[in-house]
């Protein structure tokens, strides 16, 4: 499959990270657009970290979402030929007996990327598992064992097509993106109950490549986009008509991947490029700004992908052996 936010069926931008430093913050702006660029500071934030890997493949796990009941969405398998992505939900207490497989019927690969508090999960699936990891992607939502494909209606899809649902709120509004034939991403919302689609764009540049990655119960959307001023990949938080740029000063890219009802945003940022690049997880809160959060076993390789209203975090890191491990971080 092909992802912009997570490693898997095929990635257009893989993410890794780590954390527990704070970055000086900014306040939430009230205008039509604002920037939240910050400089790393020296203070630290404390979390308890728990590594959680499905033993079906201890070499590759990613945890991508957590709801207010503590249920976690994720998958195992790198997506390489012969190691397909296989989705699951993980229930507390977090033992091996509480991993529940969730795979789109007839799929070769599935990632479960998000879930709400009412039993709805979202993600994407593929009918392919190629050596090149360039595979088709189709968005889906599921509830009570019933699966439904949900792809934005377009006549300009990439080949193979790329469409992913990445988050869903308790009002059954899901968000994701599709990729056009020119390789640009387009964010959208999908109302599961009315079956209606709507676009998510940067008001300053509606044509900017953009992915909607998470949505809270107030309809606030977090995601990533190509900043038209710098050309960098930045994160954003869209609250009504207010579009807030989220970028860590000095970072080569910043990706916002999750948001809770307090508008706490989580994600990853990259410092450096090429073989010298390192990635750090972050949280961002209005009025407080950025805090770097690295799993102690994966400093420089941590991604935070999900957050619930208690501030519990889920994500993944790369360990000393080169394995990708899921983690839960409790404040």
- CA distances for 113 relative to 116, 157, 164, angstroms: 11, 22, 9
Question: pLDDT digits over 127-173, tens only?
Answer: 999 999 999 999 999 999 999 999 999 999 999 999 999 999 999 99
d(CA 280, CA 315): 11
- Token digits of residue 212: 């909607």
Are 123 and 114 in contact by the 8 Å Cβ rule? The answer is yes
- Whole-model pTM: value is 0.89
Give the pLDDT confidence score for residue 97 in this predicted structure: 98
Beta bridge partners of 214: 222
Mapped onto helix, strand or coil, the DSSP state of residue 48 is strand
Task: Point out the least confidently predicted range of 21-25, 187-191, 206-210, 318-322.
Answer: 21-25
Domains of the chain: 19-330 (2.120.10.30)
CA angle 155, 156, 158 (to 5 degrees): 130
DSSP 91-144: -SS-SGGGEEE---TT-SEEEEEEE-TTS-EEEEEES---TT-----EEEEEET
Is residue 87 scored above 50 in pLDDT?
yes
CA angle 41, 44, 49 (to 5 degrees): 135
Question: What is the phi-psi region of residue 20: left when phi exceeds 0, alpha when psi lies from -120 to 50, beta otherwise?
Answer: left
Instruction: Name which of 315, 222, 211, 316 is nearest 261 in CA terms.
Output: 222
Instruction: Name which of 80, 4, 9, 13 is nearest 277 in CA terms.
Output: 13
Give the pLDDT band (50/70/90) at residue 322: very high
d(CA 132, CA 86): 18
d(CA 140, CA 127): 13
Question: pLDDT digits over 28-68, tens only?
Answer: 233 334 444 443 433 346 999 999 999 999 999 999 999 99
Give the pLDDT confidence score for residue 1 in this predicted structure: 59
Give the pLDDT band (50/70/90) at residue 185: very high
Give the pLDDT confidence score for residue 33 in this predicted structure: 41
């Amino acid at each position: 499959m092909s992802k912009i936010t997570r490693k898997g069926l095929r990635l257009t931008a893989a993410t890794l990270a780590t954390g527990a430093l704070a970055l000086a913050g900014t306040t939430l702006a009230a205008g039509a657009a604002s920037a939240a660029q910050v400089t790393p500071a020296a203070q630290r934030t404390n979390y308890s970290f728990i590594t959680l890997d499905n033993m079906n493949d201890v070499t590759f796990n990613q945890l991508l979402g957590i709801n207010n009941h503590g249920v976690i969405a994720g998958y195992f398998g790198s997506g390489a030929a012969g190691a397909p992505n296989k989705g699951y939900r993980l229930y507390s207490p977090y033992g091996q007996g509480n991993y529940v497989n969730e795979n789109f019927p007839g799929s070769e690969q599935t990632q479960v990327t998000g879930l709400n508090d009412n039993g709805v999960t979202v993600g994407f699936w593929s009918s392919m598992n190629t050596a090149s990891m360039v595979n088709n992607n189709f968005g889906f939502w599921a509830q009570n064992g019933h699966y439904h494909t949900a792809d934005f209606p377009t006549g300009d899809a990439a080949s193979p097509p790329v469409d992913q649902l990445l988050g869903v709120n308790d009002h059954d509004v899901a968000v994701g993106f599709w990729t056009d034939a020119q390789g640009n991403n387009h964010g959208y919302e999908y109302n599961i109950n009315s079956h209606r689609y709507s676009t998510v764009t940067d008001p300053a540049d509606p044509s900017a490549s953009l992915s909607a990655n998470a949505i809270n119960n107030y309809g606030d959307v977090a995601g990533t986009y190509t900043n038209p001023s710098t050309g960098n990949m930045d994160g954003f938080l869209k609250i009504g008509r207010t579009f807030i740029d989220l970028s860590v000063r000095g970072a080569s890219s910043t990706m916002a991947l999750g948001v809770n009802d307090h508008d706490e945003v989580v994600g990853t940022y990259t410092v450096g490029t090429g073989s010298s690049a390192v990635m750090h997880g972050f949280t961002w809160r209005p009025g407080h700004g950025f805090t770097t959060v690295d799993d102690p076993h994966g400093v420089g390789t941590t991604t935070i992908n999900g957050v619930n209203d208690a501030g519990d975090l889920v994500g993944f890191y790369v360990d000393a052996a080169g394995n990708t491990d899921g983690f839960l971080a409790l404040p």
